[in-house]
Chains A and B, each alone.
Chain A
Amino acid sequence: MIEAKHHIPNEILVAYSTGTLPEAFSIIVACHISLCDKCRVEVEALDAVGGAILTNQEKIDVDEDSFLKTMELISNSNEKILETEKSSKSIYPNPLKNYIGHSEDEIKWKPIGGGIKQSILFNNKDASARLLSIPAGMELPDHSHKGLEMTMVLQGAFSDEVAHFERGDIEIGDDKLTHTPKADPGELCICLVATQAPLVFNNWLPKILQPFIRI
């Protein structure tokens, strides 16, 4: 566990808990709350609201053979015992395993210029998620964003006009933010970045985030 200083806005956590957040952003939420207990508490409390809503449901009829069919499902499934997974020893939290493979050696890095490398983990019509590797002390060209961008530091640290970000920290950017991130000297900076697909204009994320991004 680490003490992150920059957390995930509540709206994003609600969208994650209720299952309406695009997968690329959910990857970051899952990674962040693997490290940050403050946000994990928020998510688990929202799950408890889900539990409350389930408890308060009116009962409706289930099929007559419902119980038998469920028992059949159970007996057909070999009673496999699911074990809890040990927490990750590498800089990559467990939720990334489904995207990078079980070892960090499997990550396919591609140079994109200036010593910076990236590896695209996930991409669909809503949003994409990638790893960025920035050499120590390197400055990224200043850039703005077309949609919502969410960054989490996995290793090293960087600074921009907004703040200094270390392992576990989250930076949220949108079309109002133009910044020049610079990796700290001394250590390679590896970040997990989710970006909305640039061609989606009417997406909801920037709108709900506006109050938070006016930093």
Chain B
Amino acid sequence: MILDHIFNHDPIVATQRYYCMQIQFVIPSDFKLRSFQLSFSHLINAKEKNNTTYMNKSFADNWSNCIKKLSEDRDVHAFRELFNYFSPRIKSFLLKSGGSVSQAEECMQEAMASVWQKAHMFDPTKASAATWIFTIARNKQLDAIRKIRRPEPEDLPWMESKQDDPSESLILQEEQKNLAFAVSKLPKKQRLLIEKAFYGDLSHSKISELTDLPLGTVKSRIRLSIERLRKELGKEI
């Protein structure tokens, strides 16, 4: 039935959607396999094999806890941890987005300073720490390096009470970890295309090829989170 629905449409779109479904179906099972392997290899030397720390089980949630500590206690150690992990990556991202080395360094420092200043606005049920920090770094980069203004949508103010819902934020942080893994495991050509788009370096006609991103579960999680916020907002009014 699902396939009928898909193939009733334009054949090119249908093929893209079918491909997209394939990715969504194939990758999750791959995850299980990978995490099974990793739970063992982690004990041996997984870190040496792959220097991306998302292999670490508590990794994603760790960063959202750091931001929470930063927000509540102005905890410099938590900030130092965030800094050690994210600053070399932000700088690398900014360099690939067309900044000079000194611009990238300066812009990274400004982005990390904003992480400190905006820590109280971080909502772990709505975005992962990495996504949230990415949006801060991207906006700094647009401002400082590419001189583009990008209007932001209205905030969805989040409720204090939601802070006490660790399971929701844990699921979201885990899904971000899975997404990072899925992106790293995409066919090389497609992965490079996505990366180029985010470095602002994709010829625009190619953007239309970016239809098969492995985003199914991430979207449903975000949808739930927004729906909950809207409900809470409705109660307030």
Residues on B lying within 8 angstroms of A by beta carbon are: 51-52, 54, 76, 80, 83, 86-93, 95, 105, 108-110, 112-113, 116-118, 120-121, 126-128, 130-135, 137-138, 141-142, 146, 148-158, 176, 179-180, 182-184, 194-195, 197-198, 200, 202-205, 207-208, 210-211, 213, 215, 218-219, 222-223, 226-227, 230, 233
Contact = CB atoms under 8 A, between A and B. Distances in A.
B123 to A, nearest CB: 10
B146 A19 contact: yes
A50 B152 contact: no
A44 B215 CA distance: 11
A19 B179 contact: no
B13 to A, nearest CB: 8
Interface of A: 1, 10-11, 14-16, 18-21, 23, 26-27, 29-31, 33-34, 37, 40-63, 66-67, 69-71, 73-74, 77, 79-82, 84-88, 93-95, 98, 204-205, 207-208, 211
Contacts of A42: 219
A203 B59 CA distance: 43
B116 A74 contact: yes
A95 B154 contact: yes
A192 to B, nearest CB: 12
Contact of B210 (A14, A41, A56, A57): A14
B142 A19 contact: yes
B215 A74 contact: no
A201 to B, nearest CB: 15
Contacts of A87: 154-157, 233
A41 B222 contact: yes
Nearest to A73: B113
Contact of A70 (B83, B153, B179, B207): B83
Given A42-B219, A60-B88, A79-B117, A51 B131 contact: yes
A53 B192 CA distance: 10
A74 B113 contact: yes
B219 A41 contact: yes
A33 B153 contact: yes
Given A14-B197, A87-B155, 18 more contacts: A11-B207, A18-B197, A49-B183, A50-B135, A52-B176, A53-B195, A54-B133, A56-B180, A57-B89, A58-B89, A61-B88, A66-B105, A77-B113, A82-B117, A87-B156, A95-B153, A204-B204, A204-B205
Contacts of A77: 113, 117
Nearest to A15: B207
Given A19-B142, A63-B105, A74-B117, A45 B219 contact: yes
A54 B154 contact: no
B223 A30 contact: no
A95 B133 contact: no
Contacts of B197: 14, 18, 20
Determine which residue in B89, B146, B154, B180 has the highest number of CB atoms from chain A within 10 A of its CB, and name it. B154
A144 to B, nearest CB: 23
Contacts of B182: 52
B198 A53 contact: yes
B182 to A, nearest CB: 8
B89 A59 contact: yes
A59 B117 contact: no
Contacts of A37: 223, 226-227, 230
12 contacts: A1-B230, A10-B210, A14-B210, A19-B138, A23-B149, A27-B151, A41-B226, A48-B131, A54-B133, A66-B105, A73-B110, A84-B155
